[in-house]
Every structure is written in C-alpha cells, then in structure tokens.
Amino acid sequence: MARNTNTDAPQTGFSLGWWVAGGLLVVLLVGIIVGVVIWPRDTTTAPQTTTTPTTTEQAPTSAPTQAGTACTASNANQEVPTEAPETVWKTHPDGWLVPTSERYGPSEREGSMWSCFERSPVGAVFAGPNVFAAVSAGDEDGAVPGPGRDAAIASVSEGSPDYERAIFEGFRVLAADKNTATVDYWTSAAGTNTSVVMEMVWDEEAGDWRLNLEGPGNQPRVSVLEDTSGYVRWR
C-alpha cells in the first residue's frame, strides 16, 4: 500500500448533513432524496491499511502552487491501477479533501480550479475529486461544456455552502484509455458509504482531464454502497 500524507489540517464536523449539492450527487436513502457532500474530517491518525505514519502540517498560506508538469508528461503508463498510488491529501478551497501527487497532478493549484493531471488512468483517478470540487465551488472549468454542466453550476449558485462533504475512501477504474475514463469512487459521509461514478474525458484544448456531466441520467451516478471489497482503499 502506498503512503498517504496529509499536509493540511482539515476541519471536522458538519452542519446541514446531507445536502442536494448542485444536482451533482443524488441518492435515495430511507425514502428520502439526499445529496452526498463532504466536510473534511480529522485525519491526523494513519488509516489502518496504511503501512507508514500519516503526517499533518499547517496548511500553506503562500501563493498558488505549481508542483510540476503532470499534464504534459509523455509516454505515461496506461495500466489501470490495482493499488493506491502515493498520495498527499490537501484541503481544497471549497472544503473538499482531495488527492494530490507530484507525478500525477494537480501540478497547478490556483483558486478553485486545481488542474494539470497526467494523461493516464491514474491521472484520471486523481483528477476526478479535484475537478468535482471545482464544479462544487461553481467553477465551470472543471467540466466539459454542455447543459449538464450549466445546470450543475446554476444549482450550486442557489445552494448553501454549509454542508457535510464526503470523504474519498477508495476507487476502482471501470474503463480507461487516453481519452476517457470511468472511475467509481467509494465515498463516506454521516456513516454511510456511497458509490460515485464519474465520467472523465481528456480535453484536447485544455490539455487536461475534465468531468463529463453530459451523459444520460444523473451525473455523476450515485448509489448506496453496501460492499466495498472491490475497491482499492485509498485512505
């Protein structure tokens, strides 16, 4: 299992609990339509599956960070990941706890749009939570243009920012190539596990992965998760 590191000290607790966030994550729980959103929890202790200690440092207050050029890397490995890559978890400006890596991205962290991910299945895995956080913050650059994106941005602007944000616990890549990736994320919030399937596409103009909200039905696709054994545990 790869090492996971927290460099930010995330806040804990929640206020509105489950919230329908911009129409992005909608599930049926106990007969009530609710949204899956995440407030970062305290992660100062290492997960049981982590083989090395997790460290916590004060969140940086410096200017936008550039960690490399992941999105311009050539000849990236196109194998689907079967174990967790080394990951540094950081608190996004919108409050989400998102994965970062010097190798896979995001290499550019400015404002709510953290970008520049490797053009590979692993790069897509890292991109999903980051671009989702951007869209949740109302940044349309996180998703490909279309009515799905427009509806999501409009809904976010009408919602409250005070909600519990889910934690990305694991993932499994359902399909991937250089241009598209379907990633199923295991998330948790308020004691409930949820599957969140994100469709990712490589945007040639942006030279980066983007969230695709233009498919049929609700995007991303969300359902209650009862069995997590098929996922790569990330945390």
Segment 56-88, tens digit of pLDDT: 333 343 334 444 589 998 889 999 999 999 999
Q: Which residue has the higher pLDDT, 131 or 16?
A: 131
CA distance 38 to 185: 13
Q: Is the per-residue pLDDT at 14 higher than 80?
A: no
pLDDT band per the 50, 70, 90 thresholds, residue 4: low
Q: Quick check: helix, strand or coil at residue 132?
A: helix
Each residue of 16-46: pLDDT tens digit? 223 333 334 433 332 222 344 432 333 333 3
Predicted local distance difference test score (pLDDT) of residue 76:
92
- Out of 45-54, 82-91, 215-224, give the one with best mean pLDDT: 82-91
Distance CA(184)–CA(7), nearest Å, equals 25
The contacts of residue 37 (CB under 8 Å, 6+ apart) are 18, 19, 21, 25, 136, 163, 164, 165, 166, 189
